[in-house]
Amino acid sequence: MAWGCAVCGLLALGGLLALLAQLARWLRADGDLTVLWAEWRGRRPENELPGKVVWVTGASSGIGEELAYQLAKIGALLAISARREDELERVKKKCLEISSLGEKDILVLRLDLTDRSSHEAATNSVLKHFGKIDVLVNNGGRSQRSLFVDTNLDVFSAIMELNYLGTISLTKYVLNHMIQRKKGKIVTMSSVMGIMGAPLASGYCASKHALQGFFNSLRTELTDYPEISIINICPGPVQSKIIQNVFTENLAKSIENSGDQSHKMPTDRCVRLTLVSMANDLKEAWISDHPYLAVCYLWQYAPTWAWWLMNKMGKKRIQNFKSGVDADVSYSRKNK
């Protein structure tokens, strides 16, 4: 009897400790529970992605550039696209230096996402070079820093043209090929802004919400193709050139001061979790430090609280922007 009680006590204590460990993990988490679980127990990118043909758009900088490096190290074959060919050549050179890939394993393909008439030919170029496309990473895009009342409508049109229409146009041509093969992955860099709303980014949020709505609907049209995965990645703030390249109040104006970006999630961490999500076919992955991650949970499960909190955080965001520092600088522990 006494032994029985002791065993039950130990089991209960073990259970409690496991629960506390999970809670601690969640509190310092930089991804939602599905991503962290996949990273801990799921399929590893190193086993799933070698030899796969991966086409990354927006590969000349930031997250796309780092994706190229990590994919090259793993042994994936790469098509890398963006508008600046010289930057893509630089990325290719480094990929060759850090991996065992050869010259022919990396295709540099200039692509303007807003030039939709070029997307079919671009897709055919990748297919001609590699014979197949296993993964399309829809990563190219630009953000926004401006208040709606101050912003010309042309800016909203340009954001949708690039982030939304450019992305779904390319997807259409690549998906035709994946449907013929009955397999493939379409990975799209959405954002936590595809889940929540935030000031200074109304057009950007709209474009990422559009992507979320589009890809969540597309997934339901592909039920006859269980081996085609639609994977939406939702990062919070990540170190990259995104702020230097933002849309502002009008198309001719660039941002005056992009501020210090060092408080944001390191690019390599965001990319690692993206590859984990890709390898595990996660439908949606939130990849972000707190407090944005916590706000995602609130936005999803307790929107009334989320709206209250965003009003508070939003005020600070606008103040930061007007005083010339990064809009999100106040919320980071690393910065304090």
Ligand X SMILES: NC(=O)c1ccc[n+]([C@@H]2O[C@H](COP(=O)([O-])OP(=O)(O)OC[C@H]3O[C@@H](n4cnc5c(N)ncnc54)[C@H](OP(=O)(O)O)[C@@H]3O)[C@@H](O)[C@H]2O)c1
Residues that bind ligand X (CB under 6 A): 57-64, 82-84, 87, 111-114, 139-143, 162, 189, 191, 235, 237-238, 240-242, 245
In angstroms, the CA 317 to CA 325 distance is 10
What is the nearest approach in angstroms of ligand X to the Cβ of residue 99?
Answer: 20
Q: Work out how close the CB of 62 gets to ligand X at its nearest, in angstroms, rounded to a whole number.
A: 2
DSSP structure string for 140-207: ----B-S-GGG--HHHHHHHIIIIIIIHHHHHHHHHHHHHHHT-EEEEEE--GGGTS--TT-HHHHHH
Q: Of 60 and 248, which CB lies nearer to ligand X in the complex structure?
A: 60
Give the nearer residue to ligand X in terms of CB position, either 52 or 145. Answer: 145
Residues 6+ apart with CB under 8 A from 260: 325, 326, 329
152 in Cβ contact with 79 (< 8 Å): no
- Residue 265 tokens read as 């999630």
**Least distance CB 87 / ligand X (angstroms):** 6
We find the least distance from the C-beta atom of residue 18 to ligand X, in angstroms, to be 32
Peptide bond before 199: cis, by omega within 30 degrees of 0? no
Q: Of these residues, 204, 225, 292, 331, which one is catalytic?
A: 204
Nearer to ligand X, 160 or 179 (CB): 160
Considering beta carbons, is residue 165 or 179 the nearer one to ligand X? 165
- Between CA 180 and CA 120 the distance in angstroms is 16
In whole angstroms, how close is the CB of 270 to ligand X at the nearest point? 8
Q: Which is nearer to ligand X, 22 or 330 (CB)?
A: 330
Cα angle: 173, vertex 179, 183; to 5 degrees: 115
Q: Is 292 a catalytic residue?
A: no
Neighbour count for residue 88 (Cβ, 10 Å):
25
| Shortest-Cβ-distance residue relative to ligand X | 62
Taking residue 301's Cβ as centre, other Cβ atoms within 10 Å add up to 9
Residues catalogued as catalytic: 204
